[in-house]
Amino acid sequence: LIGIYGPLNMLGFNYREIRQAFIDMEQMVQLRAVRPDIVDAPDARDLPPATGHGAEIVFKDVEYRHDARSTGLIDVSFRAAPGDTVALVGPSGAGKTTAVRLALRLIDPQSGAITIDGADLRQVKQAALRRAIALVPQDVALFNDTIGANIAFARPEATAQEIRAAAEAAELGPFIDSLPGGMATLVGERGLKLSGGERQRVGIARALLADPRVLVLDEATSALDGPTEAAIQETLRKARAGRTTLVIAHRLSTIVDADLILVLRRGRIVEQGRHDELLEKGGEYAALWRRQTRTA
Ligand code: ATP
C-alpha cells in the first residue's frame, strides 16, 4: 500500500504546491503580464536621468478600446507635472484601470500618445520603464519565501541594504525586527501570516525598491481598520515625496490633497480639478463626495 500511496501522496502534495505557486505568480504578475505585442522598438532609448523630483507624465488624446463595444478610454488628455499626485476616480468600468495599464505600458494606446519626461512610452526601453514606474496593487500576493525575498520579488538582484532601505521606507522596519528570523522569516501559506496592513506595506516596499520616479497606487476597495488605514496613508504620503503619483482612488478622503483629480465616466474625463474646486462645482465629484461622507 505504501508503495502505491506513497508516490501518489507525494504527487498530490507537489501538485498542490505547484498549483499554488502558479496562482501566486499569476496574481503578482497580472499587471506585469508579458505581452507579446509590447516589445522594445529597435531604437528604444533609456530615460533621461532622474531629477529626484518625479517625472512629467502626459496623456495626449489617448484612446483605447478593448473591443468594439467597450469604452476603455476615449479622448483622455492630462498632464502630471513632476512631483504631482493625480487621482483617478469614477464608477466601476469608468476606465481607471485602463488608464493605469496604459501608463505602465501594459497596453499601447490605439491613438494619441503617452509621454514620460517627454519620451513616448513606445520609444523607451521597457527595462527602463519598469524601473521608472512602479505599481502598488490592490491586493499584495505573498509567496512562500522569506519576507526579504518577498520584498525583493521584482528585483531579485537587489542587495540586502537596498531591501532594508525599501522596508524602512515602507515602515516595515520595526515589524521585521520583531520577527524571530528578521528578514529571513518565512511568510505566506506555510509561514507567518501577515495582516492586511503588513501586506500592503510589503507591496509598498516592493514598489519602492525600484526607487521609481512614478508611483502608481491602485487603492484597495475596502479600507483597513481606522488606525491601520491612517498609518498606511501616512506612509504613502511620505513615499510619494519626490515622485509623481497616479492613484486609483475609491475613498475620496485619501485624495483631498491631490494636485489633480480626474473624474472618469464611460472612458471620458467628465470633470477635473482639485478637491475644493470640484466640490464648488457641485457636479459628479461633489455628489460622490456627499455620498461617501454621509455613509462614513
Ligand atoms: P473598476 O473600478 O471596476 O475597476 P475601472 O474604472 O477600472 O473599473 P476599467 O477596468 O478600466 O474600469 O474598464 C473600462 C471599460 O473597459 C469597462 O467598460 C470594461 O468593461 C472594459 N474592459 C476592461 N478590461 C477589458 C478587457 N480586458 N476586455 C474587454 N473589455 C474590458
Residue 68 Cα, ligand 1 centroid: separation in angstroms?
13
pLDDT, position 189: 81
3-class DSSP state of 108: coil
Cβ partners under 8 Å of residue 55, min gap 6: 47, 82, 116, 117, 132, 213, 214, 244
Residue 218 Cα, ligand 1 centroid: separation in angstroms?
14
Ligand 1: nearest atom to the Cα of 250: 2
Residue 206 Cα, ligand 1 centroid: separation in angstroms?
26
The reported pTM is: 0.86
Please count the other Cβ atoms lying within 10 Å of the Cβ belonging to residue 151. 27
Residue 27 Cα, ligand 1 centroid: separation in angstroms?
18
Q: Which of 98, 263, 288 to mutate to test the pocket of ligand 1 (most atoms within 8 A of CB)?
A: 98
Query: Which residue, by CA, sits nearest to atom 1 of ligand 1?
Result: 92
Q: Which of 97, 222, 268 to mutate to test the pocket of ligand 1 (most atoms within 8 A of CB)?
A: 97
pLDDT, position 37: 67
Please count the other Cβ atoms lying within 10 Å of the Cβ belonging to residue 110. 11
Residue 93 Cα, ligand 1 centroid: separation in angstroms?
5
Ligand 1 neighbours by CB, cut-off 6 Å: 66-67, 70-72, 90, 92-98
pLDDT, position 90: 96
Burial of 275 (0-12, 13-18, 19+ CB in 10 A): middle
For residue 267, is it left (φ>0), alpha (ψ between -120 and 50) or beta?
Answer: left
pLDDT, position 14: 45
pLDDT, position 222: 78
Please count the other Cβ atoms lying within 10 Å of the Cβ belonging to residue 143. 18
Q: Which of 96, 104, 138 to mutate to test the pocket of ligand 1 (most atoms within 8 A of CB)?
A: 96
Residue 259 Cα, ligand 1 centroid: separation in angstroms?
25
pLDDT one digit per residue (tens) for the chain, 296 residues? 444 444 444 444 444 444 444 444 544 544 444 455 678 888 889 998 888 899 999 999 999 998 888 889 999 999 999 999 999 999 999 999 999 999 999 999 999 999 999 999 999 999 899 889 999 998 898 889 999 999 998 788 899 999 999 999 999 999 999 999 999 999 988 888 999 999 999 999 999 999 999 999 999 887 788 888 899 999 999 999 999 999 999 999 999 999 999 999 999 999 999 999 999 999 999 999 999 988 65
pLDDT, position 296: 54
Query: Which residue, by CA, sits nearest to atom 15 of ligand 1?
Result: 72
